[in-house]
Amino acid sequence: MTKDNNPHSLPSGRSCTALCSAASIVLPALLLAGCMVGPDYRTPAPPPTDSYTTAPLPDQTASAPGASGVPQRFASGDEIPAAWWTLFHCEPLDALIRKSLANSPNIASARAALRQSRENLSAQFGGTLLPRVDGQINATREKFNGITFGQPQFTEDLNLYNASVNVSYALDLWGGARRGVEAARSQVDYQRYQLQGAWLALTANIVTAAVKEASLRAQIEATEEIAKEEDAQLTTLKKQFELGGIGRTDVLTQQTLLAQTRATLPPLRQQLDQTRHQLAVLSGSPPSDPSLPEFRLEMFSLPQTLPVSVPSALVRQRPDILAADATLHQASAQVGVATANMYPQITLSASYGTQSLTPAELFRAESTVWSIGAGLLQPLFRGGQLLSQKRAAVAAYEEADAQYRQTVLLAFQNVADSLRALDHDASGLSAQTEAWQSASDALDMARGQFKLGGISYLSLLVTQRQYQQTVVDLAQAQAARYADTAALFQALGGGWWHDPVPETAAVQ
């Protein structure tokens, strides 16, 4: 029997008082069932919405030339595969993730925390719901006098030996112990979802870092090619200057442009090094690991079908939402624990053993001693301690409830952001591809006109700068589609429920 589904109020006094007044009649039933004061936990309902964004998503995204420009289709309600990263069809990425899941200290830490919470649950269950049985052997030497019997002149030194088995059991009449076990079980759930969250975060971070590395390599290679062309152009200008065809200003301007282009390379290379170091650490290796693969954009295939979970399913998929739900469940159980502490506590105890003055007599029949008893503790005055503890538990529940609702809202925001980003990324890549193509054609035309003297060097310079920027922007736009696709899978929970995360053994 449970009481008080509302954590803001005390359990029903009438029903529990009736049980107390008729304890001699219903004690066997109480031993089997008993009250469970406090709220019975129910997971909050998801937000009442059937979409993530105000405007409907298109049937498919825009397209652009190349592998990174294929259109993507949003498939509402489709299942997300557990190994979602395999949809990029990049074997080096798959191998790196397998290695990372097996070697990551974060995963190992999360598994250890889960094992710890399970052992704590076992200890909570055995320590509160089962009887305590202790064996005890004592040997003492005492000086005895008869003052308590009115014979102070009588004294004697003696040895006293005792062997006994003691049993004690606290009746869980109000469910406080069971609520404590419920709270410990919720902590196990929390740690399980923390493990799943660590698993999801690790895989998503590796995919994102690999895509970033590929993008930086593309930007560096494009910049180096531009610098090579600008250096060749500088050589041509120097010859024209020696022949008197142009002024020295044109040569100095080209030298400045070449230096500016080369100056962009060290920061890009620094970012590349940092990304490589990040990938190594994520895989559980030092940054000097020589086996780390190199990633390039052409190694990835863009998933063309994107499964999108319905909003009502998202709250049952994302590890952070489930962890927040477990925290809320634990807080609810603690309200029951605090409430039960305000009611009478009954303890049964018994002991059986022997007591003698010599070891040889310890196990004789006449040395047998035993006791059996029961005790009732009813808090009468604690200075408001118990009531304040219950109010604190209710406040903790309200805090956990607010944090749960905030976690759900942020999860919906993550999905909405990712969906819109993919739509905008596709349109942006399409526009950026057109810009790059136009800039490339314009540069070829300007170079030809400059050789024929049709335009000034200043016009050629402007065209070169425009082209350089479009090359870098194109590489970034291509990488954004891969990165935001990974972000969507992460926002939706990663599909771990189709292949539960191994909790004790390393992932192979």
Strand-pair partners of 280: none
Q: Residue 196, SS3?
A: helix
DSSP state, residue 143: E
Q: How far from the centroid of its chain's Cα atoms is residue 436's Cα?
A: 40
First to last CA, the chain: 46
Residues 6+ apart with CB under 8 A from 239: none
pTM: 0.84
Which domains does the chain carry?
A: 85-129+174-298+312-342+384-508 (1.20.1600.10), 131-171+344-377 (2.20.200.10)
Helix (H) or strand (E) holding 210: helix 176-242
266 has pLDDT over 90: yes
Q: How many residues does the chain have?
A: 508
Comparison of pLDDT for 504 and 485, the residue scoring more: 485
CB within 8 Å of 307: residues ≥ 6 apart: 75, 77, 78, 79, 80, 492
Residue with tokens 């050629």: 460
Cα–Cα distance measured from residue 175 to residue 58, given in angstroms and rounded to the nearest whole number: 54
The average pLDDT across 245-250 equals: 85
Confidence of residue 507 (pLDDT cuts 50, 70, 90): very low
pLDDT of residue 208: 96
- Residue 254, Cα to own-chain centre: how many angstroms? 52
Residues 6+ apart with CB under 8 A from 150: none
Q: Does residue 267 have a pLDDT over 90?
A: yes
Q: What percentage of the chain reaches a pLDDT higher than 90?
A: 63
CA distance 199 to 507: 10
Q: What is the pLDDT of residue 31?
A: 44
Quick one: pLDDT at residue 13? 37
- CB 93 within 8 Å of CB 85: yes
Residue 4: its pLDDT value, please? 52
Q: Which pair of tokens denotes residue 405?
A: 């609702």
Residue 157 parent element (H or E) = strand 151-171
Q: Which two tokens stand for residue 508?
A: 């192979």
Taking residues 316-342, report their average pLDDT: 96
User: 146 — phi, psi (to 5°)?
Assistant: -95, 25
Looking at residue 291, the DSSP 8-state letter turns out to be T
Task: Quote the CA–CA distance of 225 and 432 in Å, as a whole number.
Answer: 19
Beta carbons within 8 Å of 340's beta carbon, 6+ residues apart: 37, 38, 174, 175, 176, 179
Give the torsion sign (CA, 19, 21, 25, 30).
Answer: positive
Residue with tokens 């200075």: 383
Helices 457-491 and 176-242, packing angle to 10 deg: 170
pLDDT over threshold 70, residue 213: yes
Please give the residue that has the higher pLDDT: either 235 or 503: 235
Q: How far is 332 from 326, CA to CA, in rounded Å?
A: 10
What is the C-alpha to C-alpha distance for residues 127 and 129, in angstroms, rounded to an integer? Answer: 6
Q: For 54-107, write each residue's pLDDT tens digit.
A: 988 888 999 998 888 999 999 998 889 999 999 999 999 999 999 999 999 999
Summarize pLDDT for 363-411 with one digit per residue, the tens: 888 889 999 999 998 998 888 999 999 999 999 999 999 999 999 999 9
Strands 305-308 and 73-76, by their bridges, are parallel
In the predicted model, is pLDDT for residue 26 greater than 60?
no
CB 51 within 8 Å of CB 311: yes
Q: pLDDT band for position 34 (50/70/90)?
A: low
Structural tokens at position 414: 């993550």
How far apart CA 230 and CA 367 sit, in angstroms, is 106
Cα distances from 180 to residues 71, 124, 174, 388, 477, in angstroms, run 53, 7, 12, 18, 53
Average pLDDT, the chain: 87
Bridge partners of 139, per DSSP, are 161
- Structure token pair of residue 352: 């059986």
Sequence-separated (6 or more) residues with CB below 8 Å from residue 96: 206, 210, 279, 283, 292, 293
Confidence of residue 268 (pLDDT cuts 50, 70, 90): very high
Tokens of 422: 């993919």
Residue 454: exposure state from Cβ atoms within 10 A (0-12, 13-18, ≥19): exposed
Best CA proximity match to 342, nearest among 173, 187, 136: 173
Does the pLDDT of residue 27 top 70, yes or no? no
